[in-house]
Amino acid sequence: MNLMDFLPGVGGGTIVVVLLALFVIISIFLGVRIVPQSEKYVVERFGRLKSVLGPGINLIVPFIDRVRHKVSILERQLPNSSQDAITADNVLVQVETSVFYRILQPEKTVYRIRDVDGAIATTVAGIVRSEIGKMELDEVQSNRTALISSIKSLVESAVDDWGIEVTRAEILDVNLDEATRAAMLQQLNAERARRAQVTEAEGRRRAVELAADADLYAAEQTAKARRVQADAEAYATGVVAAAIQDNGIEAAQYQIALKQVESLNALGAGEGKQTIIVPADALEAFGNAFKMLKGVAR
């Protein structure tokens, strides 16, 4: 029996055309590949790499070329991992890391490495231990940005042959054991106490400086006042001396009598002074003063 027995009334030429049409449809179906934007296809020909198909419509040779691998080019995140490391000052720390990457060259990733995630995780763990071993604990805590940048650069160099780009490498946390935490807390408290003592000492020193400045300023002002007073007294003495030179002894007697009168007035103006003791020659001083005043008035 043959195909003609099942299709009575159909000529041999028609069957050939149908089979040819089926072959063409299958060839088109196998030869046209529509690749999504987020993927790349690795094509093999007889078991060897032929090409890498990018997003869009691509043509391959039917029955000869075969899409062997469909690789996503989206950014991926490795599971967070923790690894122990020892710093340069012999402190054991537990570092939690996270790495983001994406595949740029699928042909390298497919044919050069079997477990991409595992390989990257192992590489990151080794680099983290190596870099932290070069730094002391304080540097690890304070220079985390520089440490992350160094780790990212080293990981990129290590995975370059795999056709992978490391987009981000993060150190999520640096954990310490309880003994180290207690020692660091004690050191922190001691540092805070030292800073407080320094601040208090600075405050006392500043207060002494300000008090000294205030005393200096007061002394300067007192000296200025005394200088002004001395200048005034010198001027008054000069005026009196000129008057004596011009008017003779009467001017001197007049000044003395005037001072005596002013002194007695000041003595009588005091508060609570009900009784005033006048010297024996006070009346004579008053008389002399009044006589001289009358003489000046004339």
pLDDT digits (tens, 9 = 90+) for 208-227: 899 888 888 988 898 888 88
User: Given this model, what pLDDT does residue 82 score?
Assistant: 87
Under a CB-based contact definition with an 8 Å cutoff, are residues 42 and 24 in contact? no
Residues 80-115: tens digit of each pLDDT: 888 888 888 888 888 899 999 999 999 999 999 889
Q: Is residue 79's pLDDT more than 60?
A: yes
Dist CA 93 CA 176 (whole Å): 5
**pLDDT, average across residues 13-37:** 86
Predicted pLDDT at 100: 93
pLDDT value of position 147: 86
Residue 38 has pLDDT above 80, yes or no: yes
Q: For 11-20, 124-133, 271-280, which range has the lowest pLDDT when averaged over its residues?
A: 271-280
Q: How many CB atoms lie within 10 A of CB 285?
A: 19
Query: How many CB atoms are closer than 10 A to CB 57?
Result: 9
Has residue 246 got a pLDDT over 70? no
CA nearest neighbour of 78 among 119, 113, 111? 119
Q: Does residue 53 surpass a pLDDT of 90?
A: yes
pLDDT above 60 (res 286): no
pLDDT band at 296 (very low <50, low <70, confident <90, very high): very low
User: What pLDDT sits at residue 252?
Assistant: 59
Q: What is the mean pLDDT of the chain?
A: 80
pLDDT of the residue at 75 = 93
